[in-house]
Amino acid sequence: MGERLVIALGGNAMTAPDGSASPQDQRAAVEAAMKHVGSLAAAGHQVMLTHGNGPQVGNLLLKNQIAADVVPPVPLDWCGAQTQGTIGTLILNALTHPAAVVVTRTLVDAADPAFEDPVKPIGRYFTEQEARRLERLGQTWRRFERGWRRVVASPEPREILDAPAAAALLDRGYVVVAAGGGGVPVVRGTDGRLRGVEAVVDKDLAAALLARSIGASALVIATDVPCAVAGYGTPAARPIRETTAAELRLLHAAGHFARGSMGPKVEAALRFVEHGGARAVICSLDDLGAAITGTAGTVVR
Ligand code: ADP
Ligand code: MG
């Protein structure tokens, strides 16, 4: 029997191993990833895909910045929507199975404390001089080890607004791409109307909410390592294969999973299972098939 799966694809499904994101790099990476995804669809699984968009949005922001005197820069939520379209199109071209891409908005709370304290770095590193110039235009920039980088709010996803449309296509047999880049963040104004905001929703946390919204049996987070590791990078490193939400929650609280990388994947897996999802899997993209049958990855129940 086929399963109803939400699969979150990480950077390695869309960029070269060194992170390069030329059109050729992106096409090649997507084609390789879709071989795995296509096999799952051919085996009878219902597959909903979501994906990151960090390098792609970084490129768009840089173009905005360079061309600002010629073409009006567009807001960050527009950049996110654009990447859903371009990455989605690459995915459509790479799959032989019928597929559809849904431009997806993610509702966030205008009062989310993340807006008071933007911490999510986006785009490239710049000099202090350039950072100060852009600060005067209202952006927030921070100094990192490698230089200055723009930071934006990363609010909690509250609702995947277009999940019902995506689910309807899934029910009709399409492989569906939805909530790319965590979804286009929108807030609801006091007048009830939605508007985009300059923020970035974590793609793994959005994937967990998407999986819950569509009643998926499994949330699969495909990345560039075979599984989550306790004591990562230490002599005591221990790959986590089969675990429970309770056990993984303790390891997470003890700080075993890095904040900007494995941390959100573990948090997403936990949220899905803690809210009644049957299982969540964190695996390498190349092990996707084995991870579904339970012979690879970190499996959380
Ligand atoms: P993606 O682009 O797929 O979302 P990230 O680069 O954000 O992936 O996260 C995957 C990375 O997390 C791995 O390449 C690994 O270096 C890092 N990582 C940090 N902590 C851990 C851990 N405890 N176990 C496994 N990987 C970890
Ligand atoms: Mg990565």
Specify whether 284 is located in the same domain as 139: no
My answer on whether 122 and 247 are in the same domain is no
> Is the domain of 65 the same as that of 132?
no
- Catalytic residue positions, numbered: 11-12, 120, 203, 265
Residue 190 pLDDT greater than 80, yes or no: yes
**pTM higher than 0.95:** yes
For ligand 1, the distance from its centroid to the CA atom of residue 28, given in whole angstroms, is 22
> 152, 176, 206: which is the final residue of a domain?
152
- Its domain, for residue 137, covers 118-152
**78 ligand 1 Cβ < 6 A:** no
Average pLDDT taken over every residue of the chain: 96
Contacts of 90-94 with CB under 8 Å at 24 or more apart are 90/14, 90/26, 90/27, 90/30, 91/30, 91/34, 91/49, 91/51, 91/177, 92/177, 93/27, 94/27, 94/30, 94/31, 94/33, 94/34
Q: Is the dihedral of CA 81, 87, 90, 92 positive or negative?
A: negative
**Mean per-residue pLDDT for 69-76?**
95
The answer to whether residues 264 and 124 belong to one domain is no
CA of 12 to the centre of ligand 2 (A): 6
Same domain, 136 and 166: no
Residues with Cβ within 8 Å of 234's Cβ and at least 6 positions away in sequence, in order, are none
Ligand 1 pocket test, pick from 224, 229, 248 with the greatest ligand atom count within 8 Å of Cβ, gives 224
Q: How far is the CA of 81 from the centre of ligand 2 (A)?
A: 20
Q: Return the pLDDT at 1.
A: 73
Are 48 and 136 members of one domain? Answer: no
Token pair of 52 as six digits = 């990151």
Residue 195 to residue 188: CA distance in whole angstroms:
7
Q: Are residues 147 and 65 in the same domain?
A: no
Q: Which of 128, 152, 176 is the last residue of a domain?
A: 152
3-state secondary structure at position 130: helix
Residue 39 covered by a domain: yes
pLDDT above 90 coverage of the chain, percent = 97
Q: Is residue 113 part of a domain?
A: no
* Same structural domain, 46 and 137: no
Residue 19 pLDDT: 84
What CATH number does residue 285 fall under?
3.40.1160.10
Distance CA 196, CA 75 (A): 8
Statement to judge: residues 99 and 131 lie in one domain:
no
Number of domains making up the chain: 2
Ligand nearest to the CA of residue 236, numbered in listed order: 1
Ligand 1, atom 25: closest residue by C-alpha: 228
Nearest CA, atom 11, ligand 1: 261
Average pLDDT of the segment spanning 147-176: 98
